[in-house]
Structure 1
Amino acid sequence: MKKILSSFLVLLFVLFLSNNSNAQYVESSTKAEIDASIEQRAKLRNSSAFKNYPVRNVGPVVMSGRVSDIAVHPDNSRIFYVAYASGGVYKTTNSGNTMTPIFDHQDALGIGDIAISGANHDIIWVGTGENNSSRSSYAGAGVFKSMDAGETWEYTGLRNTQHIGRILTHPTNENIAWVGSVGALYSTNSERGVYKTTDGGKTWDKTL
């Protein structure tokens, strides 16, 4: 019995070495490649013959992924924003009786964190890329900011951070915010750590 078990363990070890030697390691996408794909997506969307037709979900199920964050308006608890791991951002103004998608036309639908500015509650910060370290987690496209409570959005940088786990805002200065980034999963990249902006997202300094 011991001899059979030993032979089985040796066979497993040989198979393990064989799989490792034949493994193909693929480099992660570069920032330039990500930028190019986002630009191509925008061109395709703008030139589409169906761009003015609304899309309606017809099933079989409604799927937006896991809820990654909820941000409640500090002065009105009936208003809050819900961020999904792979479904964008939704907003309610009636305590959740109805939810409206407000991030569908941006460059990423995987959301890691959302924050309402402490100094100006109409300013909403969104960090894209789910924070979980999993092969089923989608990378994001940086940080986005709304100045009008989610009506419109602007990209503010940190494209290659890929997975943003936390955004903090200054309580009295609407131009100051901090972003915590996981960076690329299972591969090397330099855009991971803590970033700070003092000009509303126009520039970012890596502080950690």
Structure 2
Amino acid sequence: MSKVVVAAAVSVLAFILGIIGAYMAMPSLDPERVEETHRILDSLSRADTTLSFAQIDSLIRADTAARPVPTPEPAPEPDVPPERIVALEDSLTMLREELKASKETLQSLQRQVQAMQQRWSELERRRQEASRLSGTLTKLEDAELGAVLEQLDLSVLEMLYIEASGRNRTRLLQAMPPERAALVVRKLVNPEAPETAPPPADTVSTGLTSAVPGDAGLATLID
């Protein structure tokens, strides 16, 4: 038993001595070589890292250029019932017709206004001429005045009467034949009255009395 223990102890001691001998037999490392080795390893590491980043960037750019640009899809049209579309089209057609009718009405009104302006200008021109003629005729003698009035149209006589003063109105009527004077008075009282069949002679004096003195009634006749 003691021999076995001694043999085991000798074996352990031999193993320890072998390890110590191997460590002592290893050559010593030069510090400069160690530092140079570290520099080489660092340079290789940086080169590998730079190469990796460049490759990654190149791959990303190539992938981006090769990838097609997605086009946006058109928005889906709203689902409108057909009867709703028909109703909208009918409403639009009706609005167009109303707009066309309004334009035609406006054009008609513009033509009417233009015609009224032309008529008003003509009436104003005739009124001014009648005013000048009235002042001239009243300076004539009764016989000369009657001869001139007999040649004038009924509408001109009405205008002369309206533009004359109260005194000259009486003189104008007296210078006319009784039938013509009665017709002028009747047209002044009622512009829609016919130009024939004058009233009886006794109504002429009544018409003269109501038409001559005041201008208020004549203003109504002018309108």
Q: Which has the larger radius of gyration?
A: 2
Q: So what's the TM-score if we normalise by structure 2? A: 0.24
Q: So what's the TM-score if we normalise by structure 1? A: 0.25
Whose strand fraction is larger, Structure 1's or Structure 2's? 1
Whose helix fraction is larger, Structure 1's or Structure 2's? 2
